[in-house]
Structure 1
Amino acid sequence: MGVVSTRPYDRRAAVSLFSRLRTAAGQADPFPFYAELAARGGVSPAPWGGSLVTGFDLCDRILRSREWIEPDASWRERQGAGTRWNAPSSREMGRTLPALNPPDHTRVRRAAGGFDRTTIQDMGRMLDQVTVRLLDDLTEQLREGEADFATLVSEELPVATIGHWLGLPAADWPRLRDLTHEQVFTQELLPSATQLARSDAATAELRAYFVELVRSRRARPGDDPVSRWIQAWDAVEPDRDEADEQVYLLALFVVLAALETTSTLLTMTALRLVERPERWNLIASCPDLVPAFVEETLRYDPPTHVISRVAARDTVLEGTEIRRDEMVHLMVAAAHRDPARHHDPDLFDPLRKPAHLAFSGGIHYCLGAPLARLEAQTLLRHLTQRLPRLTLVRPPAWAPRVAFRRPLNLDVAPA
C-alpha cells in the first residue's frame, strides 16, 4: 500500500521491449530485457493493460497474500467472449487446481493429497532405474559423436515418471508429451490466435483421454492415484458425474504440470552443468552440492518466468493504483535477478543461499515441487557419476514463448 503517484509512461518503449523479448535473441537471453524493465520501477504498466512487477520482495508478498487471487473461471468469464481468457483451453484451465481460489482450492487440494515421504521414496527407486536406462541410451548415442540431451533424457524422464505413477500405458506417453507442449500456449503471456487454436485442439484431445481414463479406473479400480482420487471424491461429492469430472481435472493438471516445467528444469540443469567444465568437476567431486545446484538453476533461469494474479480489491502497489479484478504479472525470472535480494545476481553460483519463486508461493505453492526436485537431483547425481564430462556443442534453440521457458534441444558431446 502507499500514496498514489503518477509516473511517466512511454508505451511505445514498453511495446518495443516486449517485441524484442519475443525475438530469437530475446528468447535465448531475456535477462537484459528484464533488467531494462526493472529499471522502469518495481511496478510498471503493461502495454496490454494491468501491471508488471519485477522486485523479488514484492512478488513474494503478492504470492503469499490472500489479497491477490488466481484468475479463476468466474474472472475469465467476466473478461468477455472475445478475449483469450474465454478460449476453450483457457476456460478448461480455469477449472484446474492452480486457477482455483478458496474455498474451492482448499477442497480440491485436500482431495489431491500430495507427495508424502513414502510416495517420494517409492518414486525415487523407480527414478533411479529410469535415469540409468536413459543415460545408457545417451551414452550409446554419444559414441557417434554428439547427442541431444533434451530429446533423449529431459523429455523422457518426466513422462516416464508420471506415466509409471499414474499407471498410463507407455505407448501413450509420446502423444501425451506432445499434447502438453501444445496445450501450454493458452497459459502463455500473450498467445497468438494460432497458438490458442493449437492449445484448444490439444485440450480437447487431453480431455477425451483423461475422461476415458477415469471411466476405466472407476470400472476397474487399482492401487494408483487416479483410483484413490475417485475414492476421495466419492466421499465428499454425492454426484458421481461431478466426482468423475473433478478426478479428470486433477489428472489433467498433474500431467500438464509434471511434463512441461520439469522437462525444462532438467534441460536447464544439464545446460548449466555442461557450459562450464568447472561446474561439472565441482558436482562430480562434491555430490553433496547437487541439491544446491538444482536450487540455483531454479533461481538463475526458472521454467516459469511469469506468474499472474488479480487484485481481490482496489489497492496500491508502490505508488501504482490497482483496481479490483485488474491483473498483475509477476516477472519472477526478473525478480530472481533483483540485486536487492541477491548479490551479483547475474552470476550462477551453486554455493549461494537459495531463494527463488520458481514454485510460486502461499497456498498455490507447487504441489509437485518435491517430485520435480527429486527428478533433477537424481539426474544430476547419476549424470556426473556415471558419465565422463560432457560439453555443450552449440547453444540451444528456444520455443516461441515468454512465460514458459522451453529449450528445444541440448546438443552435447564428450569433452
Structure 2
Amino acid sequence: MGVATTPSYDRRASASLFSRLRTAAGQADPFPIYEELLSRGDVIPAPWGGSVVSSFAVCDQVLRSRDWLEPDKRWRERQGSGTRWNASSSREMSNTLAALNPPDHTRARRAAGTFDRAAIERIGQAVTRTTDRLLDSLLERVREGEADFAALVGEELPVAAIGDWLGIPAADRPRLRELTHDQVFTQELLPSASQLAASDAATAELRTYFTALVEDRRAHPGDDPVSRWIQTWDTMEPDRDKADEAVYFLVLFVLLAALETTATLLTTMALHLVESPDRWNLVANHPDLVPGFVEETLRYDPPTHVISRVAAKDHVLGGIEIRRDEMVHLMVGAAHRDPARHREPHRFDPLRKPAHLAFSGGIHYCLGAPLARLEAQILLRQLIRRLPRLTLVRRPTMAPRVAFRRPLNLDVALA
C-alpha cells in the first residue's frame, strides 16, 4: 500500500504537458513530453481528475493486480448521463471483453477460447500468402517511385488476416476498416465531441453489420470462429437472444483489436526498419533477430500508449492517495521509456531483452497477442528476404490521437 504523501505540484502543473500531447507536434513525437512526465514522479494528478501513472513498475503493478478494475458498464453509468462515458459508443464498448471484470470477464474469456498451435499454423499459412501478394504490389510500386507502405501493406494485412479467419466477405472489409478507425475515438484519452459523434455513428453501423453476421452464422453454421462461439454460448446461456448478443460483442471486440492495433504495429515496425540502414542490414543479416525486432517495436512505440483502470478500493499508489472508483491512466508509452526499467530507453535495440506492457497484463492480457506477433514476424521476415532495402521518404503524419497511435502514411522508396 505505501504511505500517502502530499504532491509538490497540482493539476494545473500537469495540464500543460497533456495540452502539448494533444498537439500535432506532441502526437508526432510524444517522448520528450513523456520524459518530463517521468521526471515528476511515478504518479501525479491528472488535470481532468484522477491520476496519471508513468513509471514501468507501478504500471505493471496495477495491470497485474485484481485490486484495479476495468471501467465497466456499472462504473460508466455512475459517471452521469452528460459524460463521455455514457456516449452510445462507450456504452457499447462496456459490454465487450476488454471492459468486463470478473465474473463476467471470466465467463466471456472462457467462451472466447485461445489461439492454439493448430489455429496459429492455419492462420500463419494464410498470412504468408497474403503477405507475399501485398509485397508484390509494394515492390511494383516502389520500382516506379515511392509507395505508401501503410496503405499497401500495414492496413491491408490485418484486415485480410482477421477477415479470412472470421469468414468476412472481402468486399466488406474496406468499410469495416474505415469504421474501426472512427470507432476507436471513444476509447481515446480525451475524445472531442466530434470524435465521439464519429465513434457513435461507426459503432451503430458495426452493430448492424455484426448482428446480421451472427444471425447468418446461426442459420448457416460453418467451420469458423463465429459459428463455434455460437455453439459455445448456447451451452452457457439458455436465452438464445442473449447468447447471440454475447457472440456479437465478442466478434466486435476481436475485429476492433485485430485491425486497429495490429495495423499500427506493422507500420511502426516498418518505419523503424526503413529509417535506419544499419537496422535493415542487421536484421537482414541475422533473421533470428526478427522476434526481438518485433518486441522492441512494441516497447519503443507501442500501438496503445494509455491504458485506464479504476480503483476497486482505497489505495496509496506511488505515494498518492487514490479513492475507490477513481481512475488511473497508465501511460504505457512513457513507462516503456522509464530509465529505471530500461537502460538507454530512447535507443531502439532489437537485442534488448523483451519487457513491455504493449499487450496489457494480468487477466486482461491481450487475447490476440499471438496473432499480432505472428503477422509482424511473418511480414518482417518476408520484407528482408524478398525486397531490396527500402528507405524512408518522409516522416509519417500521425492521426489526432494520444492513446491509440496510428501513422496515416509511411512513404518509402528503394534505397
Q: How does 1:314-353 map to 2 (within 5 A)?
A: 314-353=314-353
- Contiguous gaps of at least 5 residues in structure 2: none
Give the TM-score taking structure 2 as reference length: 0.99
Q: Which residue of 1 aligns with 2:106?
A: 106
**Deviation (angstroms), 1:175:** 0.2
**Deviation (angstroms), 1:305:** 0.2
Q: Which residue of 2 aligns with 1:67?
A: 67
Residue identity over aligned pairs, in percent, reads: 77
Which deviations, in whole Å up to 9, do the C-alpha atoms of 1:70-112 show, x marking residues without a partner? Answer: 0000000000000000000000000000100000000000000
Work out whether residues 58 and 318 of structure 2, in 8 Å CA contact, stay in contact via their aligned partners in 1: no
Work out whether residues 53 and 59 of structure 2, in 8 Å CA contact, stay in contact via their aligned partners in 1: yes
Q: How does 1:51-130 map to 2 (within 5 A)?
A: 51-130=51-130
Distance 1:12 1:187 in 2: 24
Q: How does 1:223-372 map to 2 (within 5 A)?
A: 223-372=223-372
Q: Which residue identity lines up with residue 385 of structure 1 in the other structure?
A: R
Distance 1:261 1:307 in 2: 13
Give the TM-score taking structure 1 as reference length: 0.99
Distance 2:85 2:132 in 1: 42
**Deviation (angstroms), 1:13:** 3.1
**Deviation (angstroms), 1:8:** 2.2
Which deviations, in whole Å up to 9, do the C-alpha atoms of 1:140-166 show, x marking residues without a partner? Answer: 111221000000000000000000000
**Deviation (angstroms), 1:12:** 3.0
Q: Which residue of 2 aligns with 1:174?
A: 174
Distance 2:126 2:342 in 1: 36
**1:216 is the counterpart of 2:213:** no
Which deviations, in whole Å up to 9, do the C-alpha atoms of 1:249-277 show, x marking residues without a partner? Answer: 00000000000000000000000000000
Distance 1:51 1:277 in 2: 41
Q: Which residue of 2 aligns with 1:45?
A: 45
Q: Which residue identity lines up with residue 360 of structure 1 in the other structure?
A: S
**Deviation (angstroms), 1:23:** 1.1
Residue range with higher mean Cα deviation, 68-77 or 5-14:
5-14
Q: Which residue identity lines up with residue 184 of structure 1 in the other structure?
A: V
**1:191 is the counterpart of 2:194:** no
Distance 1:262 1:56 in 2: 23
- Contiguous gaps of at least 5 residues in structure 1: none
Secondary structure in 1 matching 2:52: strand
Q: Which residue of 1 aligns with 2:34?
A: 34
User: RMSD over aligned Cα, in angstroms?
Assistant: 0.6
Secondary structure in 1 matching 2:214: helix
**Deviation (angstroms), 1:126:** 0.5
**Deviation (angstroms), 1:11:** 3.1
Q: Which residue identity lines up with residue 358 of structure 2 in the other structure?
A: A
Distance 1:115 1:387 in 2: 30
Work out whether residues 10 and 45 of structure 2, in 8 Å CA contact, stay in contact via their aligned partners in 1: no
Work out whether residues 211 and 248 of structure 2, in 8 Å CA contact, stay in contact via their aligned partners in 1: yes
Q: Which residue identity lines up with residue 54 of structure 2 in the other structure?
A: T
Q: Which residue identity lines up with residue 391 of structure 2 in the other structure?
A: T
Q: Which residue identity lines up with residue 84 of structure 1 in the other structure?
A: R
Secondary structure in 2 matching 1:235: helix
**Deviation (angstroms), 1:396:** 0.2
Q: Which residue of 2 aligns with 1:133?
A: 133
Which deviations, in whole Å up to 9, do the C-alpha atoms of 1:3-28 show, x marking residues without a partner? Answer: 11111224333211111111111011
Distance 1:411 1:293 in 2: 21
Work out whether residues 308 and 329 of structure 2, in 8 Å CA contact, stay in contact via their aligned partners in 1: yes
Q: Which residue of 2 aligns with 1:157?
A: 157
How many residue pairs were aligned?
Answer: 415
Secondary structure in 1 matching 2:236: coil
Residue range with higher mean Cα deviation, 139-148 or 228-237:
139-148
Which deviations, in whole Å up to 9, do the C-alpha atoms of 1:190-246 show, x marking residues without a partner? Answer: 000000000000000000000000000000000000000000000110000000000
Residue range with higher mean Cα deviation, 12-21 or 250-259:
12-21
